[in-house]
């Protein structure tokens, strides 16, 4: 595919593999971004919009969006901070998936059990900048200087093996479930930051003519995220018990309240978090609500 075929198209960068890839593909489908990606090709044209999808390593996406010609991208919040791209890109949406923690981990049975114990020792990480910043502040607080300061060494993978193989006294790495770390005999003693997938765009407007399309795609993705997070709760409630019920279901902004034919009763419809829907239904019944129904959302605009 040559550059001429990309002219006038919005360039949207997607992680080409790893923990974010499958979720991103599902997100694009929910936003009705239709494409067919040929094997081994990292650029493909969207069939129903003037968009080209560019599949890149997640760690490179902030640079392509912030300093290159790519208009939108999906990457991790941690990647933006690690590559110091926060002055070049804007986090438009937090996407609610890819959540994990960047943690300081040490051998569970070892003598170092606090970050203060680890200060001045050897730390290995693929997040060199964030590790240096974190331990730099710790070293300053503990008034460590010169050769007594914490040594940060970069490795690109298998960070969890560094302690067992004698390369480090502790590590800084992303932790999702913690199973890998536990298998390596490690446990967390501090959290550097919490991260998740984010939709980003450049802080400088590169092609003003694409701004309306960027807004449309952003709104669609926000709708897919909201539809995955929320359900619609609908119920009938006596008027004198409305205040108590709407405190249980305040909605994203406010509930929709309608008059019904039976005197003294109102119908209420509200978006509630899917993960809390069962307990919310129980609370509504206790508050006097009847005919409590939950409807799944296929898609929405918020």
> 223-258, pLDDT tens digit by residue?
999 999 999 999 999 999 999 999 999 998 899 999
Per-residue confidence at 7, pLDDT binned at 50, 70, 90? confident
Q: Is the pLDDT confidence value at 1 over 70?
A: no
Residue 219: what pLDDT?
95
* pLDDT tens by residue, 178-229: 888 998 999 999 999 999 999 999 999 888 999 999 999 999 999 999 999 9
Q: Does domain 100-195 have CATH number 3.40.190.10?
A: yes
* pLDDT tens by residue, 89-143: 999 999 999 999 999 999 998 899 999 999 999 999 999 999 999 999 999 999 9
Indicate the pTM of the whole model.
0.86
The domain ranges of the chain are 3-98+197-206, 100-195, 230-296
Same CATH topology for 3-98+197-206 and 230-296: the answer is no
CATH class of the domain comprising 230-296? alpha beta
| % of the chain with per-residue pLDDT over 90 | 82
Q: Is the pLDDT confidence value at 4 over 60?
A: no
| Fold classified for 3-98+197-206 | D-Maltodextrin-Binding Protein; domain 2 (3.40.190)
Averaged pLDDT score across all residues of the chain:
93
* pLDDT tens by residue, 68-85: 999 999 999 999 999 999
Contacts of 293 (CB under 8 A, 6+ apart): 233, 234, 235
């Amino acid at each position: 595919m040559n550059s001429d075929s990309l002219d006038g198209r919005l360039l949207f960068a997607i992680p080409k593999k790893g923990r974010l890839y499958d979720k991103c593909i599902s997100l694009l489908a929910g936003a009705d971004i239709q494409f067919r990606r040929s094997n081994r090709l990292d650029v493909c044209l969207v069939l129903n919009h003037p968009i080209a999808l560019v599949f890149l390593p997640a760690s490179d996406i902030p640079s392509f969006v912030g300093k290159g010609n790519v208009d939108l991208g999906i990457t991790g919040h941690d990647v933006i901070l690690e590559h110091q791209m926060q002055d070049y890109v804007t986090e438009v949406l937090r996407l609610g998936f890819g959540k994990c923690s960047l943690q300081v981990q040490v051998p569970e049975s070892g003598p170092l059990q606090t970050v203060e114990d680890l200060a001045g020792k050897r730390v290995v990480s693929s997040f060199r900048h964030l590790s240096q910043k974190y331990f730099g502040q710790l070293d300053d607080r503990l008034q460590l200087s010169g050769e007594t300061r914490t040594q940060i060494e970069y490795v690109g993978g298998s960070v969890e093996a560094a302690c067992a193989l004698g390369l480090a006294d502790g590590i800084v790495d992303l932790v999702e479930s913690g199973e890998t770390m536990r298998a390596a005999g490690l446990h967390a003693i501090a959290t550097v930051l919490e991260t998740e997938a984010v939709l980003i765009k450049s802080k400088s407007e590169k092609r003003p003519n694409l701004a309306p399309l960027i807004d449309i795609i952003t709104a669609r993705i926000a709708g897919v995220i909201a539809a995955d997070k929320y359900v619609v709760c609908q119920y009938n409630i006596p008027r004198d018990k409305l205040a108590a019920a709407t405190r249980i279901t305040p909605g994203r902004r406010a509930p929709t309240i309608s008059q019904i034919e039976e005197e003294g009763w109102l119908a209420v419809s509200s978006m509630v978090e899917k993960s809390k829907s069962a307990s919310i239904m129980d609370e509504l019944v206790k508050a006097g609500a009847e005919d409590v129904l939950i409807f799944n959302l296929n898609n929405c605009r918020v």
